[in-house]
Amino acid sequence: MKEKNLEEKKQEEVSSFLKDNFFLILNCYNNKMRKLNVLVAGCTGYIGVQLIKLLIRHKYVNIKYLCGNSSVGKKISFYDKSLKSKILPIITKFNKKYLNEVDLIFTALPNGEAQEISNNLLLKNTLIDLAADFRLKKSSDYFNWYKTKHKSVKNIKKSIYALPEIKGNEIKKYNIIGCPGCYPTSILLPLIPLIKNNLIDTKNIIIDSKSGYSGAGRGVHKKYKNKNLYDSLSAYGVGFHRHNSEIEQELKKFTKDKINFIFTPHLTPMFRGILSTIYLDLKSNVTFHKIKSTLTKYHTKNFFVKILNSNTLISTNNVINTNYCFISICKTRYKNKIIILSSLDNLIKGGAGQAIQNMNIKFNFKSNEGLKI
Q: What is the CATH number of the domain that holds 65?
A: 3.40.50.720
pLDDT beyond 50 at 30: no
pLDDT beyond 70 at 16: no
3-class SS at 145?
helix
Neighbours of 365 (CB within 10 A): 19
Q: Please check whether residue 368 lies inside any domain of the structure.
A: no
pLDDT-derived band of residue 200, with 50, 70 and 90 as boundaries? very high
CB of 68 within 8 A of CB of 95? no
Residues 68 and 213 in one domain: no
CA–CA gap between residue 48 and residue 108 (Å, rounded) = 6
CB of 179 within 8 A of CB of 355? yes
Question: Among 208, 261, 260, 259, which residue's Cα sits nearest to residue 236?
Answer: 208
Rounded average pLDDT over 298-314: 97
CA–CA gap between residue 368 and residue 57 (Å, rounded) = 11
- For 52-67, b where at least 16 C-beta lie within 10 A, e where not — what string? bbbbeebebbebbbbb
Rounded average pLDDT over 108-120: 97
Question: Among 181, 175, 171, which residue's Cα sits nearest to residue 130?
Answer: 181
pLDDT beyond 80 at 128: yes
Work out how many domains the chain is built from and give that number: 2
168: phi > 0 → left, psi -120 to 50 → alpha, else beta; which? left
The domain of 304 spans 183-347
In sequence order, the β-bridge partners of residue 63 are 38
Residues 154 and 214 in one domain: no
- pLDDT digit string (tens) for 71-113? 999 999 999 999 999 999 999 999 999 999 999 999 999 999 9
pLDDT-derived band of residue 31, with 50, 70 and 90 as boundaries? very low
Residues 81 and 215 in one domain: no
User: What is the CA 244 to chain-centroid distance, rounded?
Assistant: 15
- pLDDT digit string (tens) for 241-279? 999 999 999 999 999 999 999 999 999 999 999 999 999
Residues 162 and 206 in one domain: no
Residues 163 and 252 in one domain: no
Is residue 182 part of the annotated active site? The answer reads yes
Q: Please check whether residue 41 lies inside any domain of the structure.
A: yes
pLDDT beyond 80 at 228: no
CATH number at residue 325: 3.30.360.10
- Triad 14, 19, 20: Cα angle to 5°: 100
- pLDDT digit string (tens) for 55-64? 999 999 999 9
pLDDT beyond 60 at 29: no
Residues 155 and 187 in one domain: no
- pLDDT digit string (tens) for 130-152? 999 999 999 999 999 999 999 99
Q: Please check whether residue 367 lies inside any domain of the structure.
A: no
Query: Which is catalytic among the residues 43, 182, 325, 330?
Result: 182
pLDDT of the residue at 184: 98
Residue ranges in the chain assigned as alpha helix (H): 2-20, 22-26, 46-55, 113-118, 139-146, 153-156, 164-167, 182-196, 220-223, 243-252, 288-298, 353-362
Residues 284 and 319 in one domain: yes
pLDDT of the residue at 8: 66
Cβ partners under 8 Å of residue 25, min gap 6: 18
3-class SS at 139?
helix
CA–CA gap between residue 363 and residue 357 (Å, rounded) = 10
The model scores a pTM over 0.75? yes
C-alpha distances (whole Å) from 125 to each of 19, 110, 162, 252, 347 are 14, 21, 17, 31, 25
3-class SS at 148?
coil
- For 4-42, b where at least 16 C-beta lie within 10 A, e where not — what string? eeeeeeeeeeeeeeeeebeeeeebeeeeeeeebebbbbb
Residues 222 and 274 in one domain: yes
Residues 176 and 193 in one domain: no
